[in-house]
Each structure stands twice: as structure tokens, then as C-alpha cells.
Amino acid sequence: MDIVERLADDLLDARRSIELEEARQLVEVPTAELPALLSLAHEVRRRWWGDGVELESLVSAKTGGCPEDCAFCSQSMHFDSPAQRHAFLPLDEVLGAARATEASGASHFCIVAAVRGPDRRLMDQVLEAVEAIHEQTSLGVNCSLGLLTREQADALRDAGVYRYNHNLEAARSFFGEIVTTHTWEERAETCRLVTDVGMNLCSGGILGMGETWEQRLELAYQLRELGPSEIPLNFLNPRPGTPRAGQRPLEPTDALRAVAIYRLIFPDIIIRYAGGRELVLRDAQALGLVGGVNGMIVGNYLTTAGRPAAEDVRMVEDLGLPVTGGRRE
Ligand code: SF4
């Protein structure tokens, strides 16, 4: 009996997650057996979650000019990347994006700013926007504003922010090759703060930056220690002008294998398709939705265009999966 069959017998009844040694064995499963691994991941997600898929859109409320030097990011001021740049959007534009999100069928809306961490002015702008979106829509409002102080985390929680996104981005052992202006530990500290104050933590990473499979697993188990309620899985979309511009994109089979393995490590949380899926997976995107994924970012990403949200909603519905979470929890 191979590892996928053995785990199927065990995981579905025992409702447990896999350990590192089991994950390592799944990395070695032949590509021809990938459909069996995806099928197991889908069964596990159905057992814990049912069939629903949660959709979220985001607005890049403040874009570009970031003082950090994350090697994948076209918003860093350190790189000569042709990304757009703008100060915090006027409130009516943020509200317009939130209304469009609600109309698309998504249930959550994330306000994102390209900063090391928010200053007082940005916090005031974000809190004003969160209040207005709560008043005018039924969306769950999430934020992604970089490194936080405890006071800022308290203020966001008090404003009713549902989830705070702060990705670890990469395994601790690989992080120094990606970022030098802040440390992995600083990122982890903000993640701990988010759960400490009682917000839901959304934290994941970017796969395909040159890391090894062992480091993809390392990232997963480091995330597990932080207790996220959601993991966004991004696949590197190499941006011109950044140090990772020449990186070869992940093979679709590697991206799908990662999705399935992450689902088995995290049976009980949202695994969300995030940036890069269109580039890396192309026509194979639907396979992830029956291979462990139960959430998607729809519409545009921070610096790259996604496909229209209606196409993603149709893909989910064509698979017989309901779009869930239509109202704020
Ligand atoms: S990933 Fe975030 S912190 Fe890093 S350079 Fe881009 S916007 Fe700044």
C-alpha cells in the first residue's frame, strides 16, 4: 500500500493532520499519482469544511514606494520596477471597490497598504474606511498593513477587523535570501500579536522563489506554530525589475502538489488561492479547487491583474461547489 492509500485510511477517520515525515513522503509521490493525492486532499477538506468556497477581493489602498526590499515585490522602492504608485486612495474609491466586491459575490474585502507598518495617518485612514465599509456593506473587512504595534492591533480589532493578513513569505531558513530590511522574527512577532489580541490571522507565503521542497514544508510547519485561520498560497509571478525577475515559474504539478500537502497539514483552516495562480496553473486552476483549496482571492491582485471575478465564480459553480460566507461572520 502506498503512502496516499495509507493516509486515506488514517486521515479521514482520525481527523488528524500529517506530520513532517509524512509530508516528505508525499513530496516523493510520482507525478502520475498526483490525482490520487489531490483527491485525498479534497476528501479531507470536505470532511472538515464541506464543499463551500470563500471568495475575497482586495484593494491596494496605498501602492508602491515601500521602504522594504522583498525580492519578489514590484512595490519596493529599492527596485526599478514599472509598478504603479499612489498615496492612500480617497475614501469613496475604497468604498467603491468594496461595493464592487459585494456585487461580485465575494464575502470578504481586504484593505492592503504597501508599507513597513502603518503610521498614525494611515491608521486613521484605514479605520475610517473600515467603519464606512461596515456601515454600507455586509462584507467582512480584513487588513494587511505590515508590521503592527500592540496598540495598532488593538485598534484594528476594536474597529471590527475580522482578519489580519501578514505573510511569513518564506521559510525562516530562506527568508534572508528574500528580505534584508526586516527579519523573519519581526514578521512572526506581528503574526503572534494578531492572534493575541483576538483577530483571525491570515498568513502564508509565496512558493516558487527558488526555495527547496524541504523549505516549503519548513514554512508550513512554522506557520502551524502561529495558529493561522487562513493560509493564502501565492505562486511567484516574476515581476520585471525585481531580483526574482528571472525566476522560472513553478511547474503546475508542483503548485498542485503543494496545495494538496498544505491541505493535509492544515485540514481545519482556509487554504486560499492567491496571486500567481493564473500564470502558474493556467487551465489546471480548477484542479486545486478539488484538491484542497477552499478559498480564493478574486479580481485583481496588488500589482498584477487577475481575471474577472465572474469567471472565477463560474469556475467554482461549474465544479458544483457553493460560494459560501456571503455575510460577515
Ligand atoms: S512585500 Fe510588502 S513589505 Fe515587502 S516590499 Fe512589498 S509592499 Fe513592502
Confidence at residue 301, expressed as pLDDT on a 0 to 100 scale: 59
- The secondary structure of 203-227 as a DSSP string is --EEE-SS--HHHHHHHHHHHHHH-
Confidence at residue 70, expressed as pLDDT on a 0 to 100 scale: 97
Q: How far is CA 92 from CA 51, 97, 99, in A?
A: 35, 9, 10
66 C-beta closer than 6 A to ligand 1? yes
Domain boundaries, the chain: 21-319
| C-alpha 52 to ligand 1 mean position (Å) | 31
Confidence at residue 15, expressed as pLDDT on a 0 to 100 scale: 85
| C-alpha 178 to ligand 1 mean position (Å) | 11
Ligand 1 atom 6: the closest Cα is on which residue? 73
Confidence at residue 329, expressed as pLDDT on a 0 to 100 scale: 40
167 C-beta closer than 6 A to ligand 1? no
Atom of ligand 1 at shortest range from CA of 74: 6
Long-range contacts of 42-46 (CB under 8 A, 24+ apart): 42/290, 42/291, 42/292, 43/8, 43/12, 44/11, 44/12, 44/263, 44/264, 44/267, 44/292, 45/263, 45/267, 45/271, 45/292, 45/293, 45/294
168 C-beta closer than 6 A to ligand 1? no
114 C-beta closer than 6 A to ligand 1? yes
68 C-beta closer than 6 A to ligand 1? yes
End-to-end CA distance of the chain: 42
199 C-beta closer than 6 A to ligand 1? no
170 C-beta closer than 6 A to ligand 1? no
Which CATH architecture is the domain 21-319 placed in?
Answer: Alpha-Beta Barrel (3.20)
200 C-beta closer than 6 A to ligand 1? no
Confidence at residue 253, expressed as pLDDT on a 0 to 100 scale: 98
218 C-beta closer than 6 A to ligand 1? no
Closest CA to 264 of 30, 28, 18: 18
Atom of ligand 1 at shortest range from CA of 182: 3
Atom of ligand 1 at shortest range from CA of 116: 3
Distance between CA atoms of 45 and 114, rounded to whole angstroms? 33
73 C-beta closer than 6 A to ligand 1? yes
**Could you say which residues of the chain have pLDDT below 70?**
1, 83, 300-306, 325-329
Q: Cell numbers for 92, please give them.
A: 469613496
76 C-beta closer than 6 A to ligand 1? yes
Atom of ligand 1 at shortest range from CA of 73: 6
Closest CA to 98 of 69, 128, 121, 63: 128
Ligand 1 atom 4: the closest Cα is on which residue? 70
Confidence at residue 326, expressed as pLDDT on a 0 to 100 scale: 45
